[in-house]
């Protein structure tokens, strides 16, 4: 069960877990704040930590509240869906056959059995995006691993809560958000390079920035481009 601490008008949920380090997260869409901390830490120590991060917390909350959001998907005819930054209109076809999704000229055709629920339609589309991303990533790895001088053991595609990607440095693995399949290809390339760079430098320190500047001088522009684009509409839980 979470303990709540109040820092002015900011509410922070605190969860004590069997972990080594403190993890601070700000969740969309409204900017809820959560701290996961080792069980040994006192609430006073956690409060001091949270106060030290107030500036960052407020900055993240402001970004989340200002970012444009997609309207909820209803999976109805002529609804807009996106792939690699391009807009497609949805066509829904009901038929007694296995579910399928086809990409055409400016149109995505979703074939489902009569009476298929919206949740099932959403799952079919989500799996399609996941497959698109899995196909797009290997060529990027082949291009950028030699440039950075790293070798990835494995990549995962996930529906992530607060990040476009993440890197597990010790295992040489990265995770990528399925939402990246909706964004322009250069945004995915930026995230792949960003996470590969973390195999060399786990933090976002000056060395990490220097690596990114060296291999992808336009990375800051691509990051800004990605963060300006609409994000999925939903309440992300902890």
In a domain, 238, yes or no: no
pLDDT > 90 in the chain, percent: 74
Q: Are residues 53 and 19 in the same domain?
A: yes
| pLDDT at residue 238 greater than cutoff 60 | no
Tens digits of residue pLDDT in 140-188:
999 999 999 999 999 999 988 668 999 998 999 999 999 999 999 999 9
Separation of alpha carbons 169 and 203, rounded Å? 10
Separation of alpha carbons 212 and 235, rounded Å? 32
Tens digits of residue pLDDT in 32-52:
899 999 999 999 999 999 999
Least confident of 25-39, 88-102, 193-207: 25-39
DSSP-derived 3-state class of residue 154: strand
Longest dimension (CA), the chain: 61
Give 128 or 30, the one with higher predicted confidence: 128
Tens digits of residue pLDDT in 89-124:
999 999 999 999 999 999 999 999 999 999 999 999
In a domain, 237, yes or no: no
| pLDDT at residue 67 greater than cutoff 80 | no
Query: What's the CATH number where 122 sits?
Result: 3.30.2010.10
Asked if residues 77 and 91 have their Cβ atoms less than 8 Å apart, the reply is yes
Q: Are residues 60 and 106 in the same domain?
A: no
Q: What is the mean pLDDT of the chain?
A: 90
Q: Are residues 211 and 121 in the same domain?
A: yes
Least confident of 14-28, 130-144, 211-225: 14-28
């Amino acid at each position: 069960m979470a303990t709540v601490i109040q820092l002015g008008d900011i509410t922070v949920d605190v969860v004590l877990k069997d972990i080594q380090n403190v993890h601070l997260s700000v969740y969309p869409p409204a900017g809820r704040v959560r701290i996961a901390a080792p069980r040994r830490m006192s609430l006073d120590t956690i409060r001091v930590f949270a106060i030290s991060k107030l500036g960052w917390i407020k900055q993240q909350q402001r970004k989340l509240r200002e970012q444009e959001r997609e309207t909820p998907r209803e999976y109805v005819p002529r609804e807009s869906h996106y792939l690699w930054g391009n807009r497609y209109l949805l066509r829904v076809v009901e038929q007694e056959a296995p579910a399928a999704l086809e990409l055409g000229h400016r149109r995505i055709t979703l074939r489902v059995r009569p009476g298929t629920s919206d949740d099932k339609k959403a799952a079919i589309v989500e799996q399609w995006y996941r497959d698109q991303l899995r196909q797009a990533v290997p060529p990027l790895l082949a291009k950028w691993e030699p440039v950075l001088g790293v070798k990835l053991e494995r990549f995962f595609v996930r529906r992530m809560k607060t990040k476009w990607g993440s890197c597990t440095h010790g295992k040489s693995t990265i995770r990528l958000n399925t939402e990246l399949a909706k964004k322009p290809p250069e945004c995915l390339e930026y995230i792949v390079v960003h996470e590969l760079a973390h195999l060399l430098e786990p933090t976002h320190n000056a060395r990490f920035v220097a690596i990114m500047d060296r291999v992808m001088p336009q990375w800051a522009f691509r990051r800004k481009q990605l963060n300006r684009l609409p994000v999925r509409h939903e309440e992300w839980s902890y």
